[in-house]
Amino acid sequence: MNHAGPDTDHVRKQTLGFSQQSNEEQPILSQVVEILESLYPLEYAESWDAPGLIVGDLSRRISRVMFAVDPTIDVVDEAIRHHADVLITHHPLLFRAVHEVSGLGFRGGIINALVRNNCALWVGHTNADVAYRGVAHSAADAFGLVNQHPLVPSDTQQHGHDIGLGRVGTLSKPQTLRNFATAIAHKLPKTNAGVLVCGELDAMVHTVAILPGSGDSCFDEVRSSDVDVYVTSDLRHHPVTDAYQQSRYEFMLKSSGYIPGGEHHTAPFPAFINTPHSAIEHLWLERAAVDLQEALKRHHQRSITIYTSTLNTDPWNLRL
């Protein structure tokens, strides 16, 4: 790993405030974790997920935090170059069972580098997906959805708000599928993978379901929501082909009066917009940075320096 001096090309400084604080005035890691886990409670996580504090000394003073989507080698190097005391990522480093963290594997190498450089790692994964002002909510707001509600509601609320996986909402002004997909592409960080669209490009879009991350497991919920288009990531050939073929067939039956429904649609629904996984989830980072800073000031009268990484962590580096 390269631990060279600061390189600001890939990092956006979100907010300042530490420069005039003494060491005693800096929050400690346990206070930062407390805030993060009030914003994104760990009990919201899926049963197979294990978010939260992965590496770190709870008593250590914190002055610099960096947000990123993925805890890759490049991102960790970036955090270390910027002297981050905490790296906060959406995706886990330890996703499945790990039996060693030696230098023989990249996960062990990353953990060893974090420990050597006194940089903690906190992960907000499916708990941040579900939370109010979390990953899905951030994407829905960025794409202009109003009158939102969860796609898959949880059986609880957060601060009086309904929460759950994904978001469903409406566009304040209907637009064609082509124009909506183009607007989404302009909102996302650039990747080589790009944005893919399945559907009638000139059909009007008004209602939208969004699930950042891998979303083909929620096709049934999307169909039940009766939306015009579904925005997600990691869509595979056969599930999308089958789903859209079924939509076309049902639309033909409904248009012919053989089965009820579809009165509000002008084309087979839902259409699909497939976004790069890391790009759509990147939309959460700046909101999370703002919410963390504001909560630290409100609850602990502390402020810190927060960066959001703009490093592209999409794995594809060539499109032919």
Annotated binding residues, as ranges? 90-91, 129, 277, 281
Virtual CA dihedral for 77, 79, 84, 90, nearest 10 degrees? -130
DSSP single-letter state for residue 45: S
List residues bridging with 89 in a β-sheet.
Answer: 68, 123
Q: Which of 291, 296, 287, 294 is CA-nearest to residue 34?
A: 296
List residues bridging with 167 in a β-sheet.
Answer: 150, 210
What are the angstrom distances between the C-alpha of 186 and each of 133, 143, 275?
21, 10, 11
First to last CA, the chain: 30
In single-letter form, the type of residue at position 141 comes to: D
Burial class, 212, CB count within 10 angstroms (exposed 0-12 / middle 13-18 / buried 19+) = buried
d(CA 3, CA 266): 56
Beta pairing, strands 161-176 & 145-158: antiparallel
d(CA 297, CA 110): 31
SS3 280: helix
Annotated binding-site residue numbers for a divalent metal cation: 90-91, 129, 277, 281
Q: In sequence order, what are the residues at sequence separation of 6 or more whose Cβ sits closer than 8 angstroms to the Cβ of residue 137? A: 131, 148, 167
Q: Please check whether residue 52 is in contact with residue 37, taking contact to mean a CB–CB distance below 8 angstroms.
A: yes
d(CA 154, CA 35): 22
DSSP single-letter state for residue 192: S
d(CA 226, CA 68): 34
